[in-house]
Amino acid sequence: MEFKGLYIGSDESGKGDFFGPLVVAGIVVNEETIEILKTIGVKDSKKLSDATIDLLASVIRQKIPYDQIVLFPKTYNEIYSRFKNLNHLLAWAHAAVIKTLTDKTGALQALVDQFTVEPLVEYYLRKKGVNLHLKMFPKAENDLAVAGASILARSAFLEGLKALGDSIGTPLKKGASTLVQAQAQEIYTTHGKELFPSIAKLHFKTYKDLFLA
């Protein structure tokens, strides 16, 4: 455990995926609930299958206090157009989740997987009137609280990606690879440009390249 006593772990999913939502999730743990996470086999979501992620997420939601923000592309693109910076958007979302969990549980310690060296999460927490002990460092998913949060975030991302795919009758691909670029071209050819604001993150190079090609 990175902290003693009650603390929050938060992480995000979907920031590198062209299609689908951005999700930020957080959980609150103590010595007792950390043992639950150990027992059920929680670890960094990147090391788990999608099926295992869904199973673990359902257990975590039942047993651990949590909060999450799911920004589907339509909302994500609107908010991004205000921030014009992904790190600011992420910091704002992490701060919102942390504030909710602090209000809910009284936790005054938080650990966030580092996505910037700038004190942006602190800045948005101060704007929300939250004063707590915050730590951020790379690979914070090695901590079980952040790993648990990463599982919730990934589970919500996968659920959101599936819902968007179902809505257009095509399973959407994860990531931003050449396969994703090819799928974006297919969707553009079939449906035109109008669909993209509701299924994809428009500031991605994938989107810009599609209309410059």
Q: DSSP secondary-structure letter at 19?
A: B
Residue 38, domain member (yes or no): yes
Judge whether 11 and 155 are in contact, CB under 8 Å. Answer: no
In this predicted structure, the answer to whether residue 36 has a pLDDT above a threshold of 90 is yes
Mean pLDDT of the chain: 95
**What is the residue range of 106's domain?**
7-165
pLDDT at 189: 92
> What predicted TM-score, i.e. pTM, was given to this entire model?
0.95
Residues contacting residue 79 through CB under 8 Å, at least 6 positions apart? 71, 89, 92
Radius of gyration of the chain (CA): 18
CB 33 within 8 A of CB 129: no
Give the CATH number of the domain where residue 38 resides. 3.30.420.10
In this predicted structure, what is the pLDDT of residue 209? 86
In the predicted structure, residue 210 carries a pLDDT above the cut 90: no
Q: Which residue, chain included where needed, has tokens 């297919």?
A: 186
User: Is residue 187 domain-resident?
Assistant: no
| The pLDDT of residue 1 is above 70 | no
203 assigned to some structural domain: no
Nearest to 119 by CA among 91, 80, 90, 86: 91
pLDDT at residue 212 tops 70: no
Q: Point out which residues pair with 66 in neighbouring strands.
A: 27
**Dist. CA 5–CA 111, nearest whole Å:** 13
pLDDT higher than threshold 90 for residue 3: no
Rounded Cα gap, residues 2 and 133, in angstroms: 12
Confidence check: pLDDT of 2 > 80: no
On whether residue 74 sits in a domain, the answer given is yes
**DSSP code, position 129:** T
Residue 102 lies in a domain: yes
pLDDT, greater one: 104 or 2: 104
Q: Is 102 helix (H, G, I), strand (E, B) or coil?
A: helix
* Residue 83 belongs to a domain: yes
Which tens digit of pLDDT belongs to each residue from 38-47?
999 999 888 9
**For 137-180, how does the pLDDT look when each residue is reduced to its tens digit (9 = 90+)?**
888 889 999 999 999 999 999 999 999 999 999 999 999 999 99
pLDDT band at residue 213 using 50, 70 and 90 as cut-offs: low
pLDDT tens sequence across 84-127: 999 999 999 999 999 999 999 999 999 999 999 999 999 999 99
Asked, for residue 188, whether it belongs to a domain, the answer is no
Task: Judge whether 50 lies within some domain.
Answer: yes
How many C-beta atoms surround the C-beta of residue 1 within 10 A?
14
> How many domains would you assign to the chain?
1
